[in-house]
Each structure stands twice: as C-alpha cells, then as structure tokens.
Amino acid sequence: MFEEPFRWMEAIATRHSYVQDKLKKGQPVFAVPYNEGSLLLSFAQQSGKIFEIYDRIALGGLGHPADVERLRMSLLDMAHLEGFNRSSQDVTIARLLQFGVAPALKQNFEEVMRAPYLVQLLLAELDHEGGRRFYRLNYDGHWENFKKGAVVAGDPKTTQWLEKKIHQTPFADYDLDRAMQEVCKLWEGAHKEVRESDEKDEEDESEIPTLKQAFEDWNFEAAVLCHAVDRKSIFRKVSDDEIQRLKAALIG
C-alpha cells in the first residue's frame, strides 16, 4: 500500500517523458503582436495548425492532429455555450482555460490508465480596447499567460530561445509584413541555434529545411486578429498577396 504513491509518481514521470518525446519534432507555432492586432504563424508538413475559436480568440496547435482537433472542438463548444448563456463579452481565454479545458486536461493526464493528449496549444485574444493577451496550454493542464507574445515548440531549448527573442523584439511597433518577416527569421534562427548547440549527425540535420525549402515543401499558415476591421469577427487568414510579399522579402 505504501508503494502506491511512488508508483503513481513514477507513472506520471513516464507520461511526461513519453509526451515530450512525441512532441519533440513539432514545428514552432508563434503568436505575437503587431501594430493592428495579433499574428499567429507556423510552418508544418501537415496543414491545420491555426484556427478561429470565437469572435476575438484564435488558436494555434502543436502535436497530434486528432488531439488538436478534439481540444479545438471542446474550446469551440465552450466558447459558444458561454456566449449564449452569458454574453460575448464574457467569452475570454482565461475563463475557457480556468473553468473548462485546463481541468479536463489535468484530470486526463493524471489518470495513468488513459492515453494522454499529445498536444500543446497557443491561444491569442484581442479585447475590445485593443489589448492583446497570449496563453500557452500544456498537455497536463498547466497554462501560462504572456503580454509580448508566446510560442509553442516541441523542443524545450527551442522554446526558451524563441521566448527570449520574442520578448526582445518590438513586434507591437511593426506592421503585418514586417512582423511576419521577423517571425520567419526567428523560425530559421531557432533551427540554426539548436543545430549548433547539439551534436547531431548529418541525417538529423537534413531533416531541418531552410526557409526557402520550408516555403516550397511545407504548408505555411498565418492568420491575424485585427482590430482595424469593422466587423464582429476580427479573425482572418493572411492573403495570398501578403504571402507573396513575404516570400519576395525573405527569399527573393
């Protein structure tokens, strides 16, 4: 009987290691401010990483696509139920996390006989006064909030390096084109930083594309929450023209 708590703690540690190993190769998802709102951006071999959740809330997901979709639907249902029962003003990320998805994720993770979610979520919110808030939700239900932008990445070293760079960069002063350029440069710089700090063989290095290769072979996803638009839903995907300008500025 006295061994049971230690067995549970060992099982939890094993689950952490298992999920972190599964997420390790996930490509970063960024959420940063810009002069008219907030930008979410990512590269991925498989599309479906950035979504609208509610009028002023957007989601970026890293991990197993099925788990990202399950949590997206949960957040979507909770947001619309909250808006219907109370008001759209009451639909905030903090409420959705604190009273909804975060406790459910924590319970799931601590029930060691159930499969854990292989996911990390990034949420961005733009309030009616133009205030920007960013949140990161972990697979075990732990969540954090940020003011200057946030990132989710499979590798902890990459996350730490990118967080430091995001907080040092005045994204809120940039227009959308400049913000996207700087995020793409951070994406490429993070891969170079990890490659230089770790001892990797040539096969591992070949799996990391250059920025030009990423645009050619991977899916580029970007969306904004923009307070400059005169409509209820302020979420929109970045247009093809904006993507072409981005490519021209970065790779010619």
Cα separation, 250 vs 245, in Å, equals 9
User: Which pLDDT tens digit goes with each residue over 79-94?
Assistant: 999 999 988 888 999 9
Q: What secondary structure does DSSP assign to 189-242, as a single string?
A: HHHHHHHHHS---HHHHHTS--HHHHHHHSEEEEEEEETTSSSS--EEEPPHHH
Q: What is the pLDDT of residue 45?
A: 83
Q: What is the largest CA-CA distance in the chain?
A: 66
User: Which pLDDT tens digit goes with each residue over 43-70?
Assistant: 988 778 999 999 899 999 999 999 999 9
In 3D space, the residue among 171, 184, 179, 192 whose CA is nearest the CA of residue 215 turns out to be 184
Name which residue leads in pLDDT, 212 or 200.
212
In 3D space, the residue among 124, 120, 117 whose CA is nearest the CA of residue 96 turns out to be 124
Residue 95: alpha-carbon gap to chain centroid? 18
**Residue 201: pLDDT over 70:** no
Domain 26-251 is of which CATH architecture? 4-Layer Sandwich (3.60)
